Structure 1
Amino acid sequence: MHEPRLNHVQCLDSRGLHGMAYWEWGDAANPKVLVCVHGLSRQGRDFDTLARAMLGEYRVVCPDVAGRGQSDWLADPMGYQLPAYVADMVTLLARLNAQTVHWVGTSMGGLIGLGLASLPKSPIGRLVLNDVGPTLRPEAIARIGAYLGLPLHWATLEEAADYMLSISQGFGTHTREQWLALTRPMLKADGAGFKPHYDPQIAVPFRAMTPELASAGEAALWKGYDAIRCPTLLLRGADSDLLTRDIALAMTQRGPKAQLHEFADVGHAPMLVVPQQVAVVREYLLGP
């Protein structure tokens, strides 16, 4: 079983520097680079299964976005926002010496990819947006906000896995073994048990969002999406409460005119662990 290498890169923020961790798979000299970026409360080990499937063709890099996993927590919680995350990824790509990359982003990781792909001279050559678009349903935002940043503690891995499952019904069906593998990196040792791996302060800017700010953010994301020029695949859980079918269809008509693939019996978001989901991503990234 292949295991990743853990590396760190220093990134600039409003209060100084913070270290961003990234998990690297495959040949470090391979010029073909695939960057996989996780969702709001997740971390880079979510992509272990996909990375193992792709490391024969790519150098696969899976960052822990600031405040998550093995990365440093920010001194200023208002730094937990998309423009800062995009800037961190530019620093990461410089460290990797990657001229062009392929990008898989789940939820927040997709929005970071959208932001980077929309820039003139963007290094992203092929983009996969996993269950996210410029318009986010407020019901889903409220659902996520209900558990984000809670002071949680679990006595055992099994107890933590059961809790994670209770808030992650949209991820679809996984075996217990797959679910435990998705849960382990989500935990930090805390006394005799475990707590969540992320800085609870990532919830601060999330909770500070007003309807006016949300509307301005949506307009900016659509403007960014319309500026994307690289081939784009849009994945959607058919039962997603974050990305509606109408928005997904609009994304096939605008900007990069994304190719849409929906997964039945999955909500927000497909975890790219089950073989069918991995196969769709693999075929797209390696296809003509």
Structure 2
Amino acid sequence: MTTMLFPRSSYLSIGDHEIHLTTWGDPAAPALVLWHGLSRNGRDFDTLARHFADRYQVLCPDTIGRGLSSWSAAPDDEYTIPAYCGHAVALLDQLGIAQCRWVGTSMGGLIGMALAGTPATAERIERLVLNDVAPRINQSAIERIKAYVTIVPEFASMADFETFLRTVYAPFGHLTDAEWRLMAETSMRRRDSGRISSHYDPAVMRVFAEQFQDFDMWAIFDAITCPVLALRGAQSDLVEPQVAEEMTQRGPKPRLVTIPGCGHAPALNTAEQIAVLEGFLAGI
């Protein structure tokens, strides 16, 4: 196994921010961006990134306000999809990447959708995977997500924190014990008290709670022209079945694949889930 199959950590200056990036694979290989969900970070993709590191330069950023990236002094302006899109384009520009394949989970899918459906940035996205996200998302699921992300609990031990993650993110599907432990270790920070909490800016979730009302990105979705693969967790409450089916009839008319044993959102960490991505990303 070469060093290309191990993660490399770097920090990019983008505007007023320092954005953390985990990179896998050969920098000369085609670029594959894996962008995480609302309260998560780029290390969620370690299993998937390692798999594809022998054929792509795999980029796994931490969105501002999460993981090891900086927090915003203007959260109402910067913890938004348009701002994240600007950071994504700046990241690609700094790395000299004109075009990439994009796999986005939940919020990461919305960023990819916005880039691919906006004329000024559409050519940057060669192929797009939307992992359990849609142009219209179920409001009751938004309320559920608000319930656990707008309150940041604290824990006395890593064992307690990992138990919390296993409960909250059970809809991700099957993770190994090692993957759950990695999630805990890459999701935690110690507070001044020494207790443990999740590693994100609480303002991210406040802005999410305030801004994700009457959400509708159909116009953006309909403008996408690149190939799209839509994934939906079989028990997802975020993407309703009728909305997923409507996606297949509009805009880029993606192929829809339902992932069994998952809700919101499939972790893309099993051989079966990764196999779904293989041919699509290769253009086969």
Task: Report TM bin, short chain.
Answer: over 0.9
One-letter amino acid of the counterpart of residue 188, structure 1: R
One-letter amino acid of the counterpart of residue 6, structure 1: S
Q: CA deviation at 1:169?
A: 2.3
Q: 2:201 aligns with which of 199, 202, 219?
A: 199
Q: 1:111 maps to which residue?
A: 110
Moved more, 84-93 or 148-157: 148-157
The answer to whether residue 21 in structure 2 is matched with residue 22 in structure 1 is yes
Q: 2:190 maps to which residue?
A: 189
| SS of equivalent to 2:272 | helix
Separation in structure 2 between the aligned mates of residue 83 and residue 109 of structure 1, nearest angstrom: 12
Q: CA deviation at 1:148?
A: 1.0
One-letter amino acid of the counterpart of residue 43, structure 1: N
One-letter amino acid of the counterpart of residue 53, structure 1: H
Q: 1:66 maps to which residue?
A: 64
Aligned partners of 2:139 and 2:213 also within 8 Å: no
Q: CA deviation at 1:27?
A: 1.1
Moved more, 120-129 or 151-160: 151-160
Separation in structure 2 between the aligned mates of residue 250 and residue 170 of structure 1, nearest angstrom: 23
Q: 1:94 maps to which residue?
A: 93
Moved more, 153-162 or 127-136: 153-162
| RMSD (Å) for aligned C-alpha atoms | 1.5
| SS of equivalent to 1:208 | helix
Q: CA deviation at 1:175?
A: 2.5
Q: How many residue pairs end up in the alignment?
A: 277
Matches within 5 A, 1:39-58: 39-58=37-56
Paired-residue identity, %: 42
Aligned partners of 1:110 and 1:128 also within 8 Å: yes
Aligned partners of 1:102 and 1:285 also within 8 Å: yes
**Post-superposition CA distance 1:203-254 (Å, at most 9, x none):** 2212223xxx733x40xx1111001000000010011000011111111111
**Post-superposition CA distance 1:35-60 (Å, at most 9, x none):** 00000000000010110010111000
Aligned partners of 1:8 and 1:22 also within 8 Å: yes
Separation in structure 2 between the aligned mates of residue 287 and residue 91 of structure 1, nearest angstrom: 26
Where does structure 1 differ by over 6 angstroms across 4 or more consecutive aligned residues? none
Q: CA deviation at 1:276?
A: 0.9
| SS of equivalent to 1:177 | helix
Q: 1:264 aligns with which of 254, 260, 281?
A: 260
Q: CA deviation at 1:167?
A: 1.3
**Post-superposition CA distance 1:247-274 (Å, at most 9, x none):** 1111111111011111112110000111
One-letter amino acid of the counterpart of residue 47, structure 2: T
One-letter amino acid of the counterpart of residue 27, structure 2: A
The answer to whether residue 240 in structure 2 is matched with residue 244 in structure 1 is yes
